[in-house]
A and B are shown apart, each in its own frame.
Chain A
Amino acid sequence: MENQEIERGRIADFLHRLNDNDIWWSFWHSPVAVLSAALALFMIFISVFASVIAPFNPFDLASLDLMDSSLPPVWQSGGDPRFLLGTDDQGRDILSTILYGSRISLLVGFVSVIFSLILGVGLGLISGYVGGRTDAIIMRIADVQLSFPAILIALLLDGVARTLLPKDVHSEIAIYVMIFAIAVSGWVQYARTVRSMVMTEKVKEYVQAGQVIGLGQFTIMWRHILPNVIGPVFVIGTLHLALAIIIEATLSFLGVGLPPTTPSLGTLIRIGNEYLFSGEWWITIFPGAALVAIALSVNLFGDWLRDAINPKLL
């Protein structure tokens, strides 16, 4: 009974603090932030629940009927009310393929950002805290990598994987290859930011105090320094999410990303691109619009978050 009381008090306290927070305040007073967050959440929601929301399962070959192929959207003449945004050349419902495609795009984006973040923050912490030769080596690698655009690095990693693996194996694990390639191509920014912040943090008294009472290096880095440098990491992560989704879409569009068996938005745009000239614009344009909706909303939200947290290092 008493425990519950305390628990409730804690939650109330937490909610109160959340409500009092500067960031929360600036969030509710920025229409752009609220709208972009709403749009991003909406896109995430419909892709997570794609299998429930989508009117058809585009991967269920039995439900496809070639009679339904290449139908225009409902509002154009010849449109079928069953297919709101029309169908592609195989009779798949565009709306459903977009929902499933967004799911794959967002999945690849989120997972690769998380890996990038772990890799970058870890290396940044070590680089900044340990210093010396370790720092020099890590930062030199970062410099070299930074002089190439992320998309080129991801492309190269994908090319290597393609060479190493037989073709059928590659298309089966293409999604992991893609996640790995995007994750590795993006760690540098996290590492640089975290490193420079750790360097200002590590001379502070609380770190010295930790060293004096004999805490291990790992404990100091993980438990004490990390929480103080994590804010800007979220900003980088948000903006990186938009970038990761765009990189994945671009590679898939170029035909070196996800195969048509697990189509992301980029793959869908690539497939649709072939029908652009015969006038079937909806096969390309609607997946493109979904991609822009995701990228734009995440970018706008990240922009706002950067201004709100105001990390001067960015």
Chain B
Amino acid sequence: MISFIIKRLLQSMLVMLTVAFISFGLFRFVGDPVSNMAGQDTSIEDRQELRKSLGLDDPVYIQFFNFTINAAQGKFGQSYMLREPVRELMAKRFPATLELALVSSVIAMLLGVPMGVYTAIRRNTLLSKAFMTISLMGVSLPTFLIGILLILLFGVTLRWLPTFGRGDVVQLGWWSTGLLTASGLKAIIMPAITLGIFQMTLIMRLVRAEMMEILRTDYIKFGRARGLSNRSLYFRHALKNTLIPVITITGLQIGSIIAFALITESVFQWPGMGLLFIQAVGNADVPIMAAYLVLIAFIFVVINLIVDVLYVIVDPRLRASSEGD
């Protein structure tokens, strides 16, 4: 058990080191950091000074070491484009992205699970077929197109909802939240739905498949023979067992939701990290790209690690096999 966790930890650290190495390569070798930071009228002496202060004259492995140490503390230097420390830029944008990701996940769960259960139990009804068609559309409609359609319908034609931005935000310490104001709540509806539709289809299909699998098992048949009501069978016995994989997959998805959020953020001009990253890619703003990459990788690795470890704790069979090798 302990050896398994240590092994996974080492693996995760290897992944993070690889990502740090790629980010470092981006920063050091893609373009010249000095000419990106210095203005046109910077003198040669000042450039030399800047070069030295950035440590660009050190051997590459020392530079990489320093980069990794700094990255671990969240220091990625200054943005070329905005001339502000990357760390503060990211910290300012992080709450917007996380709120969007969480609200969309909640919407996806609240809609996806009931739809999945329904399509599994009443497989051939018209409503089931409608749900399945919607789920296929969810896979084939690109996220940005869903956003545009929503804007056209609710923003331009009906004028019910704001089409861009986050509305008014309230500061809670360093965290800024839009969930406590009316305009903030109104502003999050469309972006959250746009981001949530893909997850919703995924959850729905997963719940449906798991549910159909479980309804075939002996304990459900036995429950039926015992005279349990359908309601108690479906919701107390079957649904409970389908939720474990659903929660796992949703957990694993959080990383990709944050990544996918950049599309939604771009459509709705949502002031999150993704929008910052897109602008950085367009302007070749390497420090922001590097920081975003490391942060996303970190979130992915931590979530994967937690899920793996939880699995081993919950499922004794995995424990035996992981100790075997």
Across the interface, do A147 and B139 meet the contact criterion of CB distance under 8 Å?
no
CA gap between A156 and B30 in the complex, in Å: 12
Among A164, A246, A256, contact of B142 (Cβ-Cβ < 8 Å):
A246
Judge if A28 is at the interface, Cβ distance under 8 Å.
Answer: no
* Overall SS of chain A's interface: helix
* Interface status of B241 (Cβ within 8 A of chain A): no
Contacts of B18 in A (CB 8 A): 144
Q: Which residues of B contact A277 (CB under 8 A)?
A: 156, 163
For residue A62, give the distance in angstroms from its CB to the closest CB of chain B: 32
Chain A residues in 8 Å Cβ range of B136: 296, 299-300
Contact A291 B142 (CB under 8 A): yes
Q: Could you say which residues of chain A place their CB within 8 Å of the CB of B296? A: 148, 152
Beta-carbon contacts of A277-314 to B below 8 Å, as 1s and 0s?
10101001100100110011001100000000000000
Contact A149 B156 (CB under 8 A): no
Q: Say which one of A5-13, A116-124, A247-255 lies at the interface with B.
A: A247-255
Whether A269 sits at the interface, judged by CB under 8 Å, is: yes
Task: Flag whether B141 is at the interface (Cβ < 8 A).
Answer: yes
Contact B145 A292 (CB under 8 A): yes
B residues less than 8 Å from A279 (CB atoms): 156
Within 8 A of B (CB), among A196-235: none
Contacts known (A159-B289, A288-B145); A250 close to B281, Cβ less than 8 A: no
In Å, the complex CA distance between A242 and B136 comes to 13
The answer for the CA separation of A281 and B266 in the assembled complex, in Å, is: 19
Contacting residues, chain B, for A158 (C-beta < 8 A): 281
Q: Are A160 and B26 in contact (CB under 8 A)?
A: yes
B30 proximity list for chain A (CB < 8 A): 160, 163-164
| Pairwise interchain contact A256-B148, C-beta atoms closer than 8 A | no
Q: Which of B140, B142, B255 is the one whose CB lies under 8 Å from A250? A: B142
Q: How far is the CA of A250 from the CA of B146 in the complex (A)?
A: 12
Instruction: Tell whether A106 is near chain B: CB-to-CB under 8 Å.
Output: no
Q: Residue B281 contacts which of A155, A281, A292, A296 (CB distance < 8 angstroms)?
A: A155
- Pair count A-B, CB < 8 A: 104
| CB–CB A276/B148 < 8 A | yes
| Pairwise interchain contact B263-A296, C-beta atoms closer than 8 A | no
Establish whether residues A255 and B26, one from each chain, have CB atoms under 8 Å apart when the complex forms.
no
Question: Is B152 an interface position by the 8 A CB rule?
Answer: yes
Cα A272 to Cα B221 in complex, Å, equals: 56
With both beta carbons as reference points, the residue of chain A lying nearest to B137 in the complex is identified as A296
Q: Which of B149, B156, B281, B300 has the most CB of A within 10 A?
A: B281
- Say whether B15 contacts A273, CB under 8 Å: no
Interface residue tally for chain A (C-beta within 8 Å): 38
Residues on A with beta carbons closer than 8 Å to the beta carbon of B156: 276-277, 279, 281
B144 touches A269 (CB 8 A): yes
Q: Is the CB of A276 within 8 A of B141?
A: no
For B303, give the chain A residue with the smallest CB separation. A147
Bound: A174/B89 CA distance, A: 29
CB distance from B9 to the nearest CB of A (A): 15
Bound form: Cα–Cα A152–B281 in Å = 11
Q: Which residues of B contact A292 (CB under 8 A)?
A: 140-142, 145
Cβ-based interface call for B31 (8 A) = yes
- Inter-chain CA distance A284–B301, complex, in Å, is 38
The answer on a CB contact under 8 Å between A148 and B26 is no
Question: Closest CB-CB distance, A114 to chain B, in whole Å?
Answer: 22
Q: Which one of B141, B263, B281 contacts A162 once the chains associate, using CB atoms below 8 Å? A: B281
Residues of B within 8 A of A162 (CB): 281-282, 284
For residue B259, CB closer than 8 A to chain A, the reply is yes
Question: Contacts of A156 on B, CB cut-off 8 Å?
Answer: 281, 289, 293
* Residue B297 lies at the interface, judged by CB distance under 8 Å to chain A: yes
8 Å CB contact of A295 from B140, B262, B280, B297: B140
Name the interface residues of B273-325: CB closer than 8 Å to any CB of A: 277-278, 280-282, 284, 286, 289, 293, 296-297, 300-301, 304
Chain A residue contacts of B144, Cβ below 8 A: 249-250, 253-254, 269
Closest to A281 in B: B152
Given the contacts A269-B145, A292-B145, A148 and B300 also touching, CB distance less than 8 Å: yes
Chain A residues in 8 Å Cβ range of B211: none
- Contact between chains at A159 and B259 (CB < 8 Å): no
Is there an interface contact between A288 and B284, defined as CB atoms closer than 8 Å? Answer: no
* Distance, CA A156 to CA B18, complexed state (A): 15
Going nearest first, the 3 A-B pairs with the smallest beta carbon separation are A159-B281, A163-B284, A296-B140
